Amino acid sequence: MMTCWRSITKIHAIDVLIADEKLKNVVISASVDENGLLSVFMGRLKIENELITEIELYLVRSRAEAGFWYAPEDMGQKPFGWGKEIPEGGKATRAELEELGKALHDPSYPKEYEAAPDCFLMELGGVVREHVDYVYAINPWLEKGIFKETRNPIPFGIPPTRPADPNARLIAVDEEQGIVVTIATVDGFISPYIVSDEISSCFVPESMIDMHRRTLTPEKMKGKSLVKESPATGFTTTFVRFFSGKVQGYNQTVYIAPYGAKLTWK
């Protein structure tokens, strides 16, 4: 985790910065410059008695290391719910944010969370713009013609198919910004991603793989050179903004590791 100290030459844009005195963590996500190329950085420092006791760093240099979306150039722009001011009386308490953090990686959690109309999924700094072919393939009940563009931001909250991790860590809560941050270990698959204007791969959590496989129809795969589906594990840092009783923003950073990999942090 220390090699990035040799390669990062400057910070391009800070996306999220939180200092949580209760959990004794400082958390940052940013786009950084490595010899003229942008990478996505996420880091956590644990500080006790004014000394650094833990250093946890992740550096993602390409979509192949991240899963699906990759947009370091968009970091720091605060789109949609991330840039809103919290209205008077709308601020969530620390207890509410901590409860939300627990629910993020527990699909059996009894409480449901409503998403604001302009809450969209973000990954690696940018708003995910899903291909319309893929949206209709995984949601066959949708009325055709709803989405007018080829690539569309997808409304997103805390879905029932969210990956479970009983060992997920709550690493930061910021009541003033209304942000909660967790890190989870998510098992899944590197799978083909096939749409009309792209053939590549994507990381799909195990809880969502059956839905994803519905898009891999024989007619789409015929005659194409595709990656062979294989198991993998994603270390997933999730940033959620919550106020006025609704999820306002959902942004995650994924670092792909070999299947079954584990983190040592408690």
Determine, yes or no, domain membership for 59. no
Could you read off the pLDDT of 68-100 as tens digits, one per residue? 899 999 999 999 999 999 999 999 999 999 999
Region label for 24, one of left (φ > 0), alpha (ψ between -120 and 50) or beta (otherwise)? left
Determine, yes or no, domain membership for 196. yes
pTM of the model: 0.92
Token code pair at residue 177? 């910004």
Determine, yes or no, domain membership for 117. yes
Determine, yes or no, domain membership for 4. no
Residue 190 has pLDDT above 90, yes or no: yes
Closest C-alpha among 38, 51, 41 to residue 3: 41
Determine, yes or no, domain membership for 60. no
Asked if residue 107 lies in contact with residue 162, where contact means CB atoms within 8 angstroms, the answer is yes
Residue 133 has pLDDT above 90, yes or no: no
Angle, CA of 127, 197 and 34, to the nearest 5°: 50
Mean pLDDT over 104-126 rounds to 93
Number of domains in the chain: 1
Residue 136 has pLDDT above 90, yes or no: no
Determine, yes or no, domain membership for 238. yes
Per the structure, the complete domain to which residue 94 belongs is given by 65-258
Determine, yes or no, domain membership for 205. yes
Could you read off the pLDDT of 1-49 as tens digits, one per residue? 678 888 999 999 999 999 999 999 999 999 999 989 999 999 999 999 9
Determine, yes or no, domain membership for 181. yes
